[in-house]
Amino acid sequence: MNRETRTVRPFIVGGRLASALDGVRFNLGRASCEPGGRILVHNPDEYLRAEPVLTWAQNAAAFGGFQEVLLEEVAKNRIEPVAASVIVTAHAPYLKLTDIVLRHPLSEIGSLSRTLTLRGERRPAALWANSHGAVITAYIVLSREMPDAGSLRPWRKGTWLARAVFRLKTDLPPVLFRPIPMNDDHRREHNLPRECARYLNMGDHDPLLSREGQPHPEFYVDADLLARIDRVSGTPVAKALQVQLACDFIAGVVTDVATRADAENHLEWEHVEDSVWGRIVALAAKAGQNNQEPAALLGWARENPEKLLARVEGLLKARRFLTSALNDPE
């Protein structure tokens, strides 16, 4: 089954309007990004210190041409400048937070600044998520209804006519799971034995799809066990149990993916990169001898689930933490 998604729009944006934002650039500090690209940040403090800047054109002359093209092209599409706006949003998928950082009428394009700097109080909340990244999108949109636009013409308020998307990502290890304290009510709900200490309920979660927009896996861990781990969190025993719980969660996901092998056969890396499965494969890639690219491991991971788990255990230093726990005098 092919899970590729495409944008299908029942109208035509003519001329150069659809590509009018192709020359826009986004910078985070010294790192620069073209539309459709991404900036990878390695340090969370750097992510917060670096100045975010959106640049409409690289110099004053090019900016004047950019403004003229916008006005000419909306006119060719029979859209009045008062009916369109330039909008920029910042979206933090993990926080489910979207900020509109600029809303500028196209009829006032002459007063638009060539650069949009998002520092200090102008830095949107969506850009403070330094462990999960963000998406910056610039749009040309209809700002009012155009019921007389005609067939195959954009007419609905909020319809975008052109856009440029920039992604900010961090290579910080994402939170793979959050244990849910399990009590007897949970055990009865899921028909589990009373002495069960942990249980992974995948429910409606598909580990091959992005975590955003779907229920997360429910990883239940005995409430008393979690409380005891928290009380002695710095001890070798607690660290060993935390590593073991992580391995248990990953093993459960790998088992679930094995039941979806037919679907996975059709997926490329870009389809699973932001999924739970993609994150596990990325961990295995880091644990490899040659620090392989995750995309190159997809087929191998599907065919060698036991070795995948062994690689992840190695990355989590399971042997070290488990043996250290046995040396703990407590």
- Inter-residue contact 105 to 123 (CB < 8 Å): no
Q: Which residues partner with 55 through β-bridges?
A: 25, 115
Q: 219: domain range? A: 180-326
The pLDDT, as a whole number, for residue 150 is: 56
Quick check: 281 and 301 in contact, CB under 8 A? yes
Q: Are residues 157 and 37 in the same domain?
A: yes
Q: What is the chain's mean pLDDT, rounded?
A: 84
pLDDT in tens, 256-277: 988 876 655 667 787 888 889 9
Give the closest residue to 255 by CA, choosing from 320, 189, 200.
200
Name the amino acid, one letter, at 124. P
pLDDT, one tens digit per residue, over 25-57 is 999 999 999 999 989 887 777 888 899 999 999
Tell me: pLDDT of 112 over 80. Answer: yes
- Same domain, yes or no: 261 and 148: no
Q: Which residue has the tokens 């998406």?
A: 135
Question: Would you state the structure tokens that stand for residue 85, as one six-digit string?
Answer: 């706006």
Residue 132 domain flag: yes
Same domain for 165 and 187? no
Residues 243 and 134 grouped into a single domain: no
- Minimal CA–CA distance to 132: which of 176, 164, 98, 93? 93
Coil, helix or strand at residue 296: helix
H or E element: which one contains 257? Answer: helix 236-258
Nearest Cα to 36, choosing from 50, 26, 47? 26
- Distance (Å, whole) CA 239 – CA 322: 8
| Range among 12-21, 185-194, 203-212 with highest mean pLDDT value | 185-194
Q: Which residue has the tokens 């996975």?
A: 264
The predicted structure's pLDDT at residue 172: 57
Question: CB–CB of 167/38 below 8 Å?
Answer: yes
Q: What is the average pLDDT across 234-243?
A: 87
Same domain, residue pair 185 and 49: no
The Cα–Cα gap between 240 and 220 comes to 18
Is 129 found in the same domain as 216?
A: no
Model pLDDT, residue 171: 64
Final residue of a structural domain among 117, 141, 170: 170
